[in-house]
Amino acid sequence: MLIKLGVLLTGFIYAGFLPHTLRKTLRHTKIDLRKWTISYLSNKRIYGRVYLRGYKRMMFAMALSSLLFFRLLVEFYDLHAREDLLNYADYAAIFLVSLAFLPHNMQPISFKNLGKSLQRILHNLMALLVFIMLPALIITFHIAILEELPVLGVSGLVIVAGVVLVTLWSVIKNGLNGVSELLFINGISIWCIVVTVFTVMS
């Protein structure tokens, strides 16, 4: 019962509170999501210290809630033997936290400004790894439970496949921007809600 309660609370934070807070923040800024990514909110020169602190807190909260959510799922579904699942959860959290320490900048990549260029490259690399690691983590989880819980297993795989395909389509069509990121975030939120409801009701 305590694990179910933990899944419910963590799922609410992960799929409800954090995305809602992000959307509320975006409504109060003039950022054009068709041109820029959400991470531009971490640019202190443009948006100031307040948004930078908010961005860092959001990354930490996402990393912590993500790690806790999957740890609780591992506990509830008794998947301790799946070390790859535990490792993916740790890596995803590490990459999310890394984004908090690598704020975005608009400086073009150049050898003349090597520090800023490396920061931008590392930021983009961490963002790419998050995009890869979260779906990989979800897929690994659903494959692990597929035999015993085929409905949840298949449902989760369909959802995450849809999220990845829609996000990739958006990136190919419009480039990597805030719209693509929101599609990914909202898709992961939908997945989280489905898994949370199934877990609590089981």
DSSP letters spanning 64-77: HHHHHHHHHHHHHT
Label residues 108-130 b or e (16+ Cβ within 10 Å = b): eeeeeeeeebebbeebbebbebb
Rounded distance between C-alpha atoms, residue 100 and residue 63, angstroms: 10
pLDDT of residue 178: 80
The residue ranges of every structural domain in the chain are: 2-201
Higher local confidence (pLDDT), 17 or 142: 142
pLDDT the model gives residue 117:
66
Residue 39 dihedral angles phi and psi, to the nearest 5°: -65, -15
Whole-number pLDDT of residue 113: 64
Q: Mean per-residue pLDDT for 147-167?
A: 93
User: Which residues are within 8 A (CB) of 39 and not within 5 positions of it... i.e. 6 or more apart?
Assistant: 55, 99, 103, 104, 123, 127
pTM value? 0.85
pLDDT at 126 over 60: yes
Chain segment 52-75, per-residue pLDDT in tens: 787 788 888 888 888 899 999 999
Average pLDDT over residues 37-48: 74
Q: What is the pLDDT of residue 48?
A: 74
In this structure, how many other beta carbons lie within 10 angstroms of the beta carbon of residue 157?
16
